[in-house]
Chains A and B, each alone.
Chain A
Amino acid sequence: MAVETAAKEVLRMEHITKQFGSVYANRDINFDVRAGEVHTLLGENGAGKSTLMNVLFGLYQPTAGDIYVRGQKVKIDSPSQAVKLGIGMVHQHFMLVEAMTVFENIILGDTRSKGIFIDQNARKKEIMELSQKYGLDADLDQPITELAVGAQQRVEILKALYRGCDVLVLDEPTAALTDQEAEGLFEIMHKLTGEGKSVIFISHKMREVLRISDRVTILRSGQTVETVNIGDVTGEELANKMIGRELKPSQYEKMESDGEAVAVLNHVSYHKNSKHNGLNDVSLTVRRGEVVGIAGVDGNGQSQLAMLLTGNISPEEGSMDLKGSRVARFDPNGFIQENVSHIPEDRNKAGLVGNMSVSDNLVLKTTKDPRFSDANGLHLKKKAIRNYALEMQKKFDIRCSSVDQEARNLSGGNQQKVILARELEASPDLLIAVHPTRGLDIGATRFIHDTVIAQRGSGCGVLLISADFDEILEVSDRILVMFEGKIMGEYSGKNPPIEEISLAMAGK
């Protein structure tokens, strides 16, 4: 969109600060939005983008700072207040009630129409008009559970428009979309700005940002770096501003391993026909001394792949070989006994027992080990466990006030280090790492990558599943792409054909 229409400012946030306890999520942020523009908030995970938008939407109260809407100073103390001011938001995790239909979700909380009963016909007509105007097709009577991610997102946008928003916040809207779906979204965004509405687009994907933004505000560790017109910068400059340092090519040497195959999947299927949560005829091999990266948009069967490779589910078709012998029974304990380590997708849910101490979590799998108990588990050696925990705390740089602290009170990075310490001290033959650095800062991410590469060096086979393409490129020796439960292709980690891989991730 042209910058001339810039004159009309619809929204301004001044000196916004938001503290959680002693942590600053936002610090003195300035940000403004003009009518008819796409204004991108760019920043890494944890840079404070979502917090800022939650402040704008009345979900958080700012510790300090002011918000102006169309020049008027306002206090937004609830989402409904934000909606009244014409602000709509599509959250990263959709705010859709799955047990209800599209129609019901759109009219939820409706205060515009009078009367006790739901006036189906009138409301539906209204919604259909909106959906035609902006090209947001939706089947109103379908339950949300039956919709694909892209369609759910359209419902979210419709919901916001139905409430009469002028400023639409899209929080990482493309994270779970295929390229094609993302294209569709960009078209919708154009239609919106064409009608004079403004879009706040949150992302850290450079390509998209360059493609659709009018202006970009870069956030880094909770603070504003700069606001720039898109015409004035290159992608490289933006990336540097976002990260605060030069992007470097992978710093790890890529290996080509011909070691023993620790894990082999032969034509494995699981819930074959489920596009999002199944595996369809998957064959792959992980050898000692290599990192195999599984690239792909979230929800294309990666979770099932990880569960299968750790014995949490059994295949419906096909077979698996572990260190040369056929797996007869899929159960997690059997796999652990076979020296398979697992960094699970959800560290709080599956990795740690949050209410247990750091030291308990470190020995979670090994309390029967003679190092930690006598008589095969009949008497725990509390002192030995504690000493071991202190040793691990040092070795893995786990920052906690004491190893007796409950694991749930640790930061994400330190929680992940606890899991890493537990899983890697077993010197595994096979390591399944799922989104190991999700939500972590750069320092912790680097530490985890270093540790994984070190494991590779000691002869472990690593399977890395990540939705973060950069991470895959950084550490993988071989790259496999998953789409709708299928392996779309295999590429070398050395000079990978990025273009080709992106297409494969979109199913082409």
Chain B
Amino acid sequence: MGSFISNLILASVRMASPLIFLSLAELYSQRAGLVNIGIEGIAAIGSLTGFLISLITGNPLLGVLAGALAGIAVNMIFAYATISLCAEQIVYGMAINIFAPALAAFIYRVYFGSGSELVQAGLMGSLKSMLGIKSNNFLVNLFLDQTPMVYLAYILIIVTAIYFTRTKSGLNYKAVGEYPKAAATLGINVIGIKYLSCVICGALAGIGGAYLTTCYSKTYVDGNVAGRGFIALAAVIFGRWSSGGVLIACLFFGFCDALQIRLQLVNNTLPYQFFQMIPYVATIVVLAAIGAKKAGPKSSGQPYRKEER
């Protein structure tokens, strides 16, 4: 039982990491007033790119980097359409959700042919293995038996918290999401920050996707993001648009994910699908429980036009 719980905690931390990247992606986007429901799709392309580059170079870190770049590239389509063309954000996010996974699937087919043989790439090593530590103590495992990406996720949480609460630039950034017109009158480059937000969002969503193929599973399969992009949306709402809140939400959803995997291993009387439902059902329950107190950035979802009468 003790090992069940300690394994559960270890797995929660690990499962929360991709969600943290994706949720932060959404957070940076929404803080600049852009609701991007396309991060599920961006994560798919990041996942595929991460896998391919990691396979080709043999270096998972390069894979992650490539995933970030691919995410940025795809999100620039979203950026141009929603910022410059003022397309509806929700609608365009959906377009990205259809386009990006199709592109990922296509590249995979073209690269590997239609053969069904599963190609596997190496996973990123944990800090523990890099340092050559042998101990199997729970705390050692919790703090050291993690890939560098996990540390990056938690560092990003802290950096984001500081950025939005302590820095001048972060204040300006938030103003763009709250009241872009006011921000513009104060000389803040609204359009620039919105584009910047899409670069950050694309990179983080790409990294979140790449995490799945460089740190979690050795291979890429279509649909491997499995709704994490949407759960990230829920995590941002649940986390009340703050970095710390997002962390708690992600740990909770990560816990649900870890729990369902553990329960599957322990229990074999119930069909395993019921356990797999846990993260999704938990998302619904959490959203229903917190109710509708709207607390997000005020201008979220609305297009911004410079000269408007």
Contact = CB atoms under 8 A, between A and B. Distances in A.
Q: Is A bound to B? A: yes
B298 interface: yes
Contacts of A196: none
Contact of A97 (B182, B307, B309): B182
A109 B298 contact: no
Contacts of B287: none
Contacts of B262: none
B186 A98 contact: no
A255 interface: no
B40 to A, nearest CB: 28
B186 A80 contact: yes
A107 B307 contact: no
A110 interface: yes
B269 to A, nearest CB: 50
B185 A96 contact: no
Given A59-B307, A108-B172, A91 B185 contact: yes
Contacts of A61: 307
A117 B167 CA distance: 4
Given A95-B182, A109-B175, A83 B187 contact: yes
B185 A79 contact: yes
A100 B181 contact: no
B14 interface: no
Given A97-B178, A99-B178, A108 B167 contact: no
Nearest to B172: A109
A59 B308 CA distance: 9
A247 interface: no
Dominant secondary structure of chain A at its interface with chain B: loop
A118 B171 contact: yes
A59 B185 contact: yes
Contacts of B167: 116-118
A257 interface: no
Contacts of B297: 99
A59 B306 CA distance: 8
B161 to A, nearest CB: 13
B187 A97 contact: no
Interface string A455-466: 000000000000
A98 B175 contact: no
A95 B167 CA distance: 21
Contacts of A91: 185
B228 interface: no
A110 B307 CA distance: 23
Interface string A69-90: 0000000001110010000010
A399 B187 CA distance: 40
Contacts of A57: 185
A95 B181 CA distance: 7
B183 A20 contact: no
A473 B175 CA distance: 42
Given A79-B186, A97-B179, A118-B166, A108 B171 contact: yes
Interface in B175-215: 175, 178-179, 181-188
Nearest to A58: B185
Contact of A95 (B171, B179, B309): B179
Nearest to A60: B307
Query: Size class of A's contact patch?
Result: 20 to 34
Given A107-B171, A116-B168, A118-B166, A100 B187 contact: no
A123 to B, nearest CB: 10
A104 interface: yes
Contacts of B309: 20, 25
A495 interface: no
Contacts of B174: 97, 99-100
Nearest to B307: A60
A25 B307 CA distance: 14
A99 B186 contact: no
A14 B118 CA distance: 73
Contacts of A107: 168, 171
A401 interface: no
A104 B187 contact: no
A61 B179 CA distance: 21
A337 interface: no
B95 to A, nearest CB: 21
Contacts of B169: 116
A96 B187 contact: no
Contact of B187 (A60, A78, A118): A78
Contacts of A89: 185
Given A79-B185, A109-B183, A111-B187, A99 B168 contact: no
Contacts of B168: 107, 110, 113, 115-118
A99 B298 contact: yes
A117 B166 contact: yes
B298 A108 contact: no
Q: Which of B166, B175, B178, B187 has the most CB of A within 10 A?
A: B187
Contacts of B179: 95-98
B298 A98 contact: yes
Nearest to A23: B309
A322 B262 CA distance: 65
B293 to A, nearest CB: 14
Contacts of A83: 186-187
B168 to A, nearest CB: 5
B307 A100 contact: no
A388 B256 CA distance: 60
Nearest to B309: A20
Interface string B279-309: 0000000000000000001100000000101
B174 to A, nearest CB: 7
Interface in A87-139: 89, 91, 95-100, 104, 107-111, 113, 115-118
A238 B172 CA distance: 43
A118 B162 CA distance: 11
A78 B306 CA distance: 10
B88 to A, nearest CB: 13
A387 B134 CA distance: 87
B27 to A, nearest CB: 15
A60 B309 CA distance: 10
What 7 pairs between A and B have smallest CB-CB spacing? A80-B187, A109-B186, A95-B182, A79-B185, A97-B178, A109-B188, A97-B179
Interface of B: 166-169, 171-172, 174-175, 178-179, 181-188, 297-298, 307, 309
19 contacts: A25-B309, A59-B185, A59-B307, A61-B307, A95-B186, A98-B178, A98-B179, A98-B298, A99-B174, A99-B297, A100-B171, A109-B172, A109-B183, A109-B186, A109-B187, A117-B166, A118-B168, A118-B171, A159-B186
Given A96-B182, A98-B179, 11 more contacts: A20-B309, A59-B185, A79-B187, A98-B298, A100-B171, A104-B171, A108-B171, A113-B168, A115-B168, A116-B168, A117-B166
